[in-house]
């Protein structure tokens, strides 16, 4: 397996992280997971934060295992993570405080404050970004409004994946795909929005240079190379946003296709050549984010399997530990189309007792509380599938194209019931896979950066030949359509 040099992909998710070794040989990509670890927020003085030092220690442990496994034959390393969250560095390059978690309550009400300083339409015209209170824009505004000492002291703001890269190689930068999720970058120019920083009185001085992917940004520091017992190797800004990496891994061939990156969050969209910023995209709250190879990810963020994860976590706290396989069996025995919820309702954003939150939502919307766990999970999965249909219809309408195939990538591929529900609800053929899409896209982009793969098209062909894909053909479309038309949210 290791006759050729391998690449290390560090994929950081909001629930877990993984360090994977990828080797491209004979037109196929082979993966070997070297280290997987839990990633969860911590409470600190009433705030929700990330323990970055612990996170980086896990990353280093994974790199050490990958280097040992490959016998030091490493061609590069790339890091991808969720968007919007950041760390603040002082003048000496030290992390001032633990980075805030995007679900922290400090951004409550900050969107309205922003709109008082700059009209909502003007912000969207500049950024083309979906309005979500988790965005970096509102996090920065929250810090500024609270008179944050850390913000006042900060020399640089660095997003999470790029913060890991900085710790590895010492270069401060902001990778394009990750920067584009902040609602602080102009999607037409690829530069920071001076108007937004000026009108909201935010410190543009702390924003680093924006780097386009894939770019070699440095090499592993000598002291780290000694720790890993290897020669220094390139640190590559492959595409620092996990969804950008995941979309790069879509094994699409021809035709009109859309993607659904399914995990804690669901991100559904199209790969376009230029941003779509108009009245309709504003009305439907679509976002334009940077993609790889000069593309734009025109998409919608949807509250994904977070709802299931939080239900499972709550039941575990109550002493009932249920596997996802057990929950799937329970769902199969539950009544179809009993109730629906809007997965994107504000009720479900913060962590906590999700079953109680869902029941509170149901009662408020003239439905009844659910006691049966399988029934609750079925309601979540059906509601997600209906939400996917709505977003898909609006994508077709806004972009002016008909979609034939929906590619589902990411961890949600393992939820075969949701894949099947999605095909039924949308009436589209679903192609599911690969699962570790962010990791795969990360490695493909590294290989492009180092010249071992010539193009994204070649990379996607390699992916198509390397991983098993499963197809779902729509069934009972008439019944699903009838139930969809009853939805009031």
- What's the rounded Cα separation, in Å, for the pair 301 and 313? 23
Average pLDDT over residues 454-461: 96
**Domain membership flag for residue 488:** no
Range of the domain at 140: 6-242
> Which residue among 349, 383, 417 closes a domain?
383
**In this predicted structure, what is the pLDDT of residue 163?**
98
Do residues 78 and 88 both lie within one domain?
Answer: yes
Residue 14 has pLDDT above 90, yes or no: no
Do residues 41 and 188 both lie within one domain?
Answer: yes
Do residues 18 and 92 both lie within one domain?
Answer: yes
Sign of the torsion formed by the C-alpha atoms of 314, 316, 319 and 325: positive
Name the band, by pLDDT with cuts 50, 70 and 90, for residue 3.
Answer: low
For the stretch 441-453, pLDDT in tens is: 999 999 999 999 9
Predicted TM-score of the model (pTM): 0.93
Question: Mean pLDDT in the chain?
Answer: 96
Of these residues, 242, 342, 344, 353, which one is catalytic? 242
Do residues 455 and 432 both lie within one domain?
Answer: yes
Do residues 87 and 196 both lie within one domain?
Answer: yes
**Domain membership flag for residue 265:** yes
For the stretch 398-419, pLDDT in tens is: 999 999 999 999 999 999 999 9
For the stretch 63-113, pLDDT in tens is: 999 999 999 899 999 999 999 999 999 999 999 999 999 999 999 999 999
**Domain membership flag for residue 429:** yes
**In this predicted structure, what is the pLDDT of residue 40?**
92
**Domain membership flag for residue 137:** yes
Q: What percent of the chain has pLDDT above 70?
A: 99
- What's the rounded Cα separation, in Å, for the pair 443 and 245? 9
Do residues 112 and 254 both lie within one domain?
Answer: no
471 backbone dihedrals φ, ψ, rounded to 5°: -105, 145
Closest residue by Cα to residue 360 from 370, 351, 350, 352 = 370
Do residues 297 and 314 both lie within one domain?
Answer: no
Q: What is the CATH number of the domain that holds 195?
A: 3.30.420.40
> Which residue among 323, 354, 383 closes a domain?
383
Do residues 372 and 400 both lie within one domain?
Answer: no
Q: Are 249 and 409 in contact (CB under 8 A)?
A: yes
**Domain membership flag for residue 141:** yes
Average pLDDT over residues 119-140: 97
Name the band, by pLDDT with cuts 50, 70 and 90, for residue 1.
Answer: very low
**Domain membership flag for residue 483:** no
Tell me the CA distances in angstroms from 105 to 221, 225, 265, 351, one per residue in order: 37, 39, 19, 11
Do residues 145 and 193 both lie within one domain?
Answer: yes
Average pLDDT over residues 7-20: 95
Is-catalytic flag, 242? yes
**Domain membership flag for residue 366:** yes
- What's the rounded Cα separation, in Å, for the pair 154 and 92? 10
Closest residue by Cα to residue 407 from 393, 395, 423 = 423
- What's the rounded Cα separation, in Å, for the pair 65 and 68? 5
For the stretch 306-332, pLDDT in tens is: 999 999 999 999 999 999 989 989 998
Do residues 157 and 270 both lie within one domain?
Answer: no
> Which residue among 362, 383, 404 closes a domain?
383
For the stretch 265-305, pLDDT in tens is: 999 999 999 999 999 999 999 999 999 999 999 999 999 99
**In this predicted structure, what is the pLDDT of residue 2?**
40
Residue 360: enclosing H or E segment and its boundaries?
A: helix 354-364
**In this predicted structure, what is the pLDDT of residue 42?**
97
Average pLDDT over residues 138-152: 98
Do residues 233 and 134 both lie within one domain?
Answer: yes
**Domain membership flag for residue 481:** no
Name the band, by pLDDT with cuts 50, 70 and 90, for residue 5.
Answer: confident
- What's the rounded Cα separation, in Å, for the pair 102 and 155? 21
What is the three-class DSSP state of 102? coil
Number of domains in the chain: 3
Lowest mean pLDDT among 155-159, 253-257, 345-349, 361-365: 253-257
Q: What percent of the chain has pLDDT above 90?
A: 97
Do residues 345 and 398 both lie within one domain?
Answer: no
Q: Are 198 and 277 in contact (CB under 8 A)?
A: no
């Amino acid at each position: 397996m290791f006759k050729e040099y391998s690449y290390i992909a560090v994929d950081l998710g909001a629930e877990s992280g993984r360090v994977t070794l990828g080797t491209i040989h004979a037109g196929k990509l082979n993966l070997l997971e070297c280290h997987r670890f839990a990633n969860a927020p911590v409470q600190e003085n009433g705030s929700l934060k990330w323990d970055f030092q612990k996170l980086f220690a896990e990353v280093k442990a994974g790199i050490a295992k990958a280097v040992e496994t490959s016998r030091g034959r490493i061609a590069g390393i790339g890091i991808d993570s969720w968007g919007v969250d950041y760390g603040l560095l002082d003048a000496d390059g030290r992390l001032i405080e633990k980075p805030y978690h995007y679900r922290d309550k400090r951004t409550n009400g900050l969107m309205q404050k922003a709109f008082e300083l700059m009209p909502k339409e003007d912000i969207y015209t500049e950024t083309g970004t979906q309005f979500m209170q988790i965005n970096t824009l509102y996090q920065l505004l929250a810090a500024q409004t609270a008179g944050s000492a850390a913000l006042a002291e900060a020399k640089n703001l660095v997003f999470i994946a790029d913060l890991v890269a900085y710790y590895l190689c010492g270069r401060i930068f902001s990778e394009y795909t990750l920067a584009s999720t902040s609602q602080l970058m102009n999607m037409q120019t690829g530069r920071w929005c001076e108007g937004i920083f000026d009108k909201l009185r935010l410190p543009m001085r702390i924003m680093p240079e924006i780097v386009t992917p894939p770019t070699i940004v440095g090499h592993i520091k000598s002291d780290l190379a000694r720790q890993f017992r290897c020669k220094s190797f390139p640190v590559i800004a492959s595409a620092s946003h996990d969804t950008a990496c995941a979309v790069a891994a879509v094994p699409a061939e021809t035709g009109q296709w859309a993607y659904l990156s399914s995990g804690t969050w669901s991100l559904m969209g199209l790969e376009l050549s230029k941003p779509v910023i108009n009245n309709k995209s504003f009305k439907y709250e679509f976002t334009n984010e940077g993609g790889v190879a000069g593309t734009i990810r025109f998409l919608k963020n949807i509250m994904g399997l977070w709802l299931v994860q939080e239900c499972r976590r709550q039941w575990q706290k109550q002493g009932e530990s249920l596997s996802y396989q057990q929950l799937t069996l329970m769902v199969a025995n539950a009544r179809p189309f009993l109730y629906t919820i809007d997965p994107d309702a504000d009720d479900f954003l913060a962590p906590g007792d999700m079953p109680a939150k869902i029941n509170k939502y149901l009662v408020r919307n003239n439905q009844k509380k659910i006691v049966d766990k399988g029934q609750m999970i079925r309601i979540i999965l059906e509601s997600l599938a209906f939400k996917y249909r709505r977003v898909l219809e609006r994508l077709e309408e806004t972009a002016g194209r008909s979609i034939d195939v929906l590619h589902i990538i990411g961890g949600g591929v393992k939820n075969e019931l949701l894949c099947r529900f999605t095909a039924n609800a949308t009436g589209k053929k679903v192609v599911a896979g690969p699962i570790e899409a962010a990791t795969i896209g990360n490695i493909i982009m590294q290989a492009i950066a180092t010249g071992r793969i010539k193009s994204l098209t070649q990379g996607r062909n390699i992916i198509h030949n390397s991983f098993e894909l499963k197809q779902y053909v729509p069934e009972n479309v008439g019944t699903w359509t009838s139930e969809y038309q009853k939805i009031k949210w």
